[in-house]
Amino acid sequence: MKHTTMVSSIKRTGYTLSLLAVGYVLGVSGSLIPQNTNAQPAADGDDIKVEISLSNESIEQVQNIHESLNQLMETMKLEDKYTAATEGVNPYLILTGGGNAIEDLELGTGVDPVTFAALYAGQATSEVEDDLSWDQSNRLMYKNKLVRIYSVEKLNARQETLKTLLAKRVSVQ
């Protein structure tokens, strides 16, 4: 009896040590560590080509909408309802009632999707650019805070703001 108990105890110890060794090897090799994915730069010699397969009518509508967004952006700036952290027009902030992307960065709780993408694409304003850096995991940091996208709850709330704005009836005087 004692002999079988001792043999099974040795087997259990052997299995435990084997599992520990396998875990150690996998941990040291890093084979189970999640890998980061990043947008890939264009290969050397590749020219990035933008193919436009829109009709002239569609292109004209895009141009008209862009002009309208620019005008609305300027109006919101005058009303102190829009502060961008990136170059160009941010249709998301404009259409969801305005916002202050620089304040969002300062708080560190998340930025809108267009600001997030534009910052990663290197389109920060000069005011923001000096405070951006990359951490060792190649994540974008603003004043040593991770740049995040808005929470799902905030995205949903901003979408509801858009719906409210679209449903609101405004009298023209």
Token readout for 13 is 């110890």
Alpha carbons 70 and 88: distance in angstroms, whole number? 9
Q: Are residues 111 and 148 in contact, defined by beta-carbon separation less than 8 angstroms? A: yes
Per-residue pLDDT of the chain (173 residues; tens, 9 = 90+): 567 777 777 877 877 777 777 777 777 776 666 655 556 565 665 566 777 888 999 999 999 999 999 999 999 999 999 999 999 999 999 999 999 999 999 999 999 999 999 999 999 999 999 999 999 999 999 999 999 999 999 999 999 999 999 998 877 76
Can you give the residue ranges of every domain in the chain?
A: 80-167
